[in-house]
Amino acid sequence: MGRAARQRGVRFGPVSAPLDPYRRARLLGLATRASVATASLLIAGKLAAWLLTGSVSVLASLVDSLMDVLASTINLFAVRYSLRPPDQEHRFGHGKAEALAGLGQATFIAGSAFFLSLQALDRLVHPQPIAQAAVGISVMVFAVLATLGLLAVQRYVIAQTRSTAIKADSLHYFTDLITNMSIILALLLSALGWSGLDPLFALAIAAYILYSAAQIGHEAVSLLMDRELPSEVRQRIAELAYRPPEVRGVHDLRTRQSGPVYFVQIHLELDDELSLTRAHAVADSVEQAVLRAFPGSEVIVHQDPVSVVDRSKVSVEPRP
């Protein structure tokens, strides 16, 4: 059986060096704090813009920013918890806290979408003119610039850490970016006399937010249910397992992900006459190859004599 590795990786492919766990913690802390700070700043600006303009599109963005603060705060605590090392009660670590945070975000986002839909429908039935559209446009331009800055920070952190929680947060703020740009267009059209389009834009924004919630929720549930890693990742692992010439077959490859960590279990079929020492060396070489390709993984390699393997009862990985 191979050794369990506890390195922290930088990205999905081979890298020159693993990411230091303390650096990963600092990057995740930076992303979560930046998210909370940005959302809080935008709430103040959008609240003022909504009070001045009465735009339901601006209200839509304001409510979404309120959800951002709540979701980002949940992320902040979830990420901190996920960084705890394995203990006696959580031998596989605490990485799934990130997926739970993503699921919580999806719930909040979906709730905000339904609220916005009700507000927009009410405005369609009871239309109101938009006041001081220029103020609203100025605030939304500021919101676009602030969101772009936050997305840049989040994209960098995601590339370095593969954090599920930060990825969900980034997807949420990307929808905010699209939302804010749509609101600017709605306010411009309102200033030109097309104020009836404002609630229609709000409905479109709500639909897009709901779609975003479904995406985030699907990914979070997949991680919580230990869904297999993507087929290209499994193929790569199988290719590495077949590299040693002593390997006659590969079966029962099982994979899952918890936080940024890949968990890999694989069975190698070896010649019956192969010595125990050599069999261990082959398994160890496969494990190290997987770790080089996917740093930070937890890898377990089991060796089976080829004569005892009933290939009709196992999941066989085809030879590349």
Average pLDDT of the segment spanning 165-185: 77
The answer as to whether 90 is a domain residue is yes
Shared-domain flag, residues 30 and 163: yes
**Which tens digit of pLDDT belongs to each residue from 64-83?**
778 777 777 777 787 778 77
208 and 242 in a single domain? The answer is no
Same domain, yes or no: 151 and 203: yes
User: What is the structure's pLDDT at 6?
Assistant: 35
* pTM higher than 0.85: no
Q: Looking at the domain assignment, is residue 4 inside a domain?
A: no
Is the pLDDT assigned to residue 24 strictly greater than 70? yes
Residue at 10 is within a domain: no
pLDDT digits (tens, 9 = 90+) for 213-262: 888 788 888 888 888 998 999 999 999 999 999 999 999 999 998 877 88
Same domain, 57 and 204: yes
Instruction: Compare 5 and 144 and report the one with higher pLDDT.
Output: 144
Same domain, 110 and 180: yes
Q: Is residue 275 part of a domain?
A: yes
* Arithmetic mean of pLDDT over the chain: 80
Do 187 and 267 fall within a single domain? no
**38 shares its domain with 107:** yes
Q: 282 and 146 in one domain?
A: no
Of 189, 224, 259, which marks where a domain is finished? Answer: 224
* 263-290 tens-digit pLDDT: 999 999 999 999 999 999 999 999 999 9
247 in the same domain as 219: no
Judgement on whether residues 235 and 208 belong to the same structural domain of the protein: no
Residue 158 lies in a domain: yes
Which has more confidence, 275 or 134? 275
The secondary structure of the chain, three-state, reads CCCCCCCCCCCCCCCCCCCCHHHHHHHHHHHHHHHHHHHHHHHHHHHHHHHHHCCHHHHHHHHHHHHHHHHHHHHHHHHHHHCCCCCCCCCCCCCHHHHHHHHHHHHHHHHHHHHHHHHHHHHHHCCCCCCCHHHHHHHHHHHHHHHHHHHHHHHHHHHHHCCHHHHHHHHHHHHHHHHHHHHHHHHHHHHCCCCCHHHHHHHHHHHHHHHHHHHHHHHHHHHHCCCCCCHHHHHHHHHHHCCCCCEEEEEEEEEEEECCEEEEEEEEEECCCCCHHHHHHHHHHHHHHHHHHCCCCEEEEEEEEHHHCCCCCCCEECCC
- Counted domains in the chain: 2
> Are 211 and 250 members of one domain?
no
